[in-house]
Amino acid sequence: MTVLEVTGLRRSFAGLRAVDGVSFTVEPGEVVSIIGPNGSGKTTALNLVSGVLRPDSGQVTFQGRDVTGWRPERLAAAGLSRTFQNGRVFGNLTVAENVLIGLTPTLQAARPFSRWRNVPVLRWASLLAETAVALVDPPAVRRELADRQAKVATQLDRFGDRLTPRADLAAHTLSYANRRRTEIARALASGPALLVLDEPTAGMNPAETGEVLEQLLELKAAGQTILLVEHKIDLVMRLSDRVLVLDAGSVIAAGPPEQVRSDPRVIEAYLGKRRPAVRP
């Protein structure tokens, strides 16, 4: 089943069409990248897909369900996790706690009756039960927590010796690159059907970028479906199965990396159309 299907997505800000009729699909196990010049609508498109923004029109289908206009927390619980452009971690929580938060949708014993969370009034039964469980801390909750902590350790190990030795440090003490790694670990923790990454290597030096690329390639090899926005074309070319090029809110090219790279429309979008010199 197609993981993500986006049709005719539109969103304007103050009359400016940031995303203007974008359609694409992401199939299981695929890495799809969105590239484009500054201001072409890439991040807006991601925000629309992940529920941070609501589209003016268009449809988002996730694993066969129409999820248009769903709130981000509901999408996350349904298996769509994301990271953010400049990296958002919970600064005063430890690295391990950050990743543990990513596992929140998988908690059952600690969050009883969580099916009722979308029902008015009745959701209070679930919230109060969660409070009671938090106070009593029964064995089932402790077992669940131990299990999730083991999962956290596995996630952290994915990043070699970058995160595991720092598991108990507050996230705000980490280097920028490690904060970004923590964020990716958090997004991956719940085993999402689709991982959405917004410029995962922004602000990283070439060595760090290379390392993140290796980890993403490993994820891809393990079958993780990824939707990626990234500026670093090298990384996009090596990682992606398909590339989508946005310009002025519209898709101007789509296809395998090599084909997109030599597409004259793409070159023009980035480099501009050649015009006769008017040099004085």
Q: Which stretch binds other proteins (CB under 8 A): 1-9, 56-64, 104-112, 155-163?
A: 104-112
Q: Which stretch binds other proteins (CB under 8 A): 1-9, 58-66, 87-95, 213-221?
A: 87-95
Q: Could you tell me which residues come within 8 angstroms of residue 229 by beta carbon, excluding any fewer than 6 positions away? A: 33, 34, 35, 42, 43, 45, 46, 197, 198, 199
Segment 23 to 62, residues that bind other proteins, using CB under 8 A: 37-39, 50, 52
Does residue 240 interact with other proteins by CB under 8 A? no
Does residue 248 interact with other proteins by CB under 8 A? yes
Does residue 93 interact with other proteins by CB under 8 A? yes
Segment 204 to 233, residues that bind other proteins, using CB under 8 A: 205-206, 231-233
Does residue 254 interact with other proteins by CB under 8 A? no
Q: Could you tell me which residues come within 8 angstroms of residue 7 by beta carbon, excluding any fewer than 6 positions away? A: 23, 58, 59, 61
| Residue 139 CB neighbours (<10 A) | 8
Segment 167 to 196, residues that bind other proteins, using CB under 8 A: 170, 172-173, 175-176, 183, 186-187, 190
Does residue 110 interact with other proteins by CB under 8 A? yes
Residues found in the chain: 280
Shortest CB 21 distance to other proteins, Å:
17
Q: How far is CA 92 from CA 2, 100, 128, 173, in A?
A: 38, 14, 26, 9
Residue in this structure with the two tokens 């479906």, named with its chain if needed: 225
